[in-house]
Amino acid sequence: MALNVATLASRMLGAALPILKKDARDAESFAKLEFTKIAQTIVAIGEQVVSGQINEQQAGLLLAMQTSASRNVFLTLQGLALLAVEAAINAALNVVRSAVNTALGFALIA
Amino acid sequence: MHKMKERQPRWSLLQRRTSLVAALFVPIVLALVLPGCAVKFIGDYDETIDKGVTDVQQRAELYFSRLQSTPNTPYDQNFYDDMNSRLAVSKSRAASLPKYPIIVEQLANLKAQFDTFQKLDKSSPRPFPGVAVTDAESAIAVSVESILKLELALKRGAPPSTCDYPVVRLRL
């Protein structure tokens, strides 16, 4: 049996794409939740300065803490993206394993 | 004879280039096709780091609660020493794990947050403003949730098989 590049590519894409889409949705909902919390706190810090509950120096330090929190959200998104790509590649190889191995007559992909 | 000697360096350069290309691409191709191999770009779940970060948050929450309920609570250096040592231990562990630079950086950011809050706590007169505690608590919670979200995602369901890459030596 000859291997057809277009068929293999289509099957690989079919296996990888749902994983990428699902993981992108999960990452989006996580980012939305966490960035909303950060945005609410930044607004609150501004209001607290205006109302005199905290001074400008304290506000600056509290804002620095929010910046570190944002960095950590971005780093999690970076890690989740790596995991998604990893899963998509493994799924793509998995779905063509049998066809490739049968056509070649040996286990190229195990 | 003389001409052959002149051509030798060119051939050698071609060999070097071929070796370099092979050294770069062979591990990638082998990772994709070797039996039992799964592609892996980031490390595995680590229970010690998960527990360490959860423990740090729990202790921080206790201190924040104390500051909220008793705003005249004096600055407590012991709390910060404890947080610093716990985070240093977690960061050292993360640094020793394979493919863990993201979590190492996240732990460094979490430590930076405690350092900033320490400055705020030390420089603020008492009673300590309750709203500042709420703001700081929220920032630290976002960081902890981010680290734990990634840690739990590293469980990946079924553990992928590992594989040993052949050592490709360059002869340049």
d(CA B137, CA A37): 11
Work out the mean pLDDT of chain B and round it to a whole number: 83
Rounded distance, CA B80 to CA B84, Å?
6
Cα separation of A110 and B22, whole Å?
23
Task: Specify if B171 maps to a domain.
Answer: no
Nearest to B135 by CA among A14, A19, A60, A30: A60
Domain total in chain B: 1
State CA B3 to chain mean position distance: 57
The reply to whether B137 falls in a domain is yes
Average pLDDT of the residues in B106-111? 98
Q: What confidence score (pLDDT) does residue B93 get?
A: 98
**Cβ–Cβ of A58/B120 closer than 8 Å?**
yes
Of B109, B5, B28, nearest to A73 by C-alpha is B109
pLDDT digits over A44-97, tens only? 999 999 999 999 999 999 999 999 999 999 999 999 999 999 999 999 999 998
Please say if the pLDDT value at position B160 is more than 90: no
Measured distance CA(A97)–CA(A77) in Å, rounded? 30
DSSP character string of B101-147: HHHHHHHHHHHHHHHHHHHHHHHSPSSPPHHHHHHHHHHHHHHHHHH
On whether residue B105 sits in a domain, the answer given is: yes
Q: What is the DSSP letter of B165?
A: P
B91 occurs within a structural domain: yes
Provide the shortest C-alpha distance from residue A103 to chain B (in Å).
15
User: Residue B41 CA to chain centroid, in angstroms?
Assistant: 13
- Are residues B140 and A54, on separate chains, in Cβ contact within 8 Å? no
Mean pLDDT, residues A2-18 taken together: 92
- The DSSP string of A34-101 is HHHHHHHHHHHHHHHHHTTSS-HHHHHHHHHHHHHHHHHHHHHHHHHHHHHHHHHHHHHHHHHHHHHH
**Residue B161 per-residue DSSP state:** P
pLDDT, position B159: 47
* A91 reaches B (C-beta below 8 A): no
Q: Which of A40, A56, A66, A68 to mutate to test the interface with B (most CBs of B within 10 A)?
A: A68
Q: Is residue B20 part of a domain?
A: no
Q: In this structure, are residues A68 and B147 in contact, taking their beta carbons and an 8 Å threshold?
A: no
Quote ipTM for the complex: 0.92
List chain B residues with CB under 8 Å of A64.
Answer: 116
B58 located within any domain: yes
**Domain span at residue B132?**
47-164
Query: Which of B35, B138, B149 is opposite residue A107, by nearest beta carbon?
Result: B35
Tokens of B57: 């948050």
**B35 to chain A: which residues are within 8 Å by CB?**
107, 110
The verdict on A28 touching B (C-beta cutoff 8 Å) is no
With CA atoms as reference, report the closest residue to B84 among B117, B45, B51, B61.
Answer: B117
Q: Is residue B32 part of a domain?
A: no
pTM of structure: 0.82
- Packing angle, helices B77-96 and B47-69, rounded to 10: 160
In this prediction, residue A110 carries a pLDDT of 76
Closest CA to A69 of A36, A29, A43, A46: A36
What are the chain A neighbours of B139 within 8 Å (beta carbons)? 38, 41, 62, 65-66, 68-69
To the nearest 10°, report the CA torsion of A21, A22, A23, A27: 100
Residue B167 has pLDDT above 70, yes or no: no
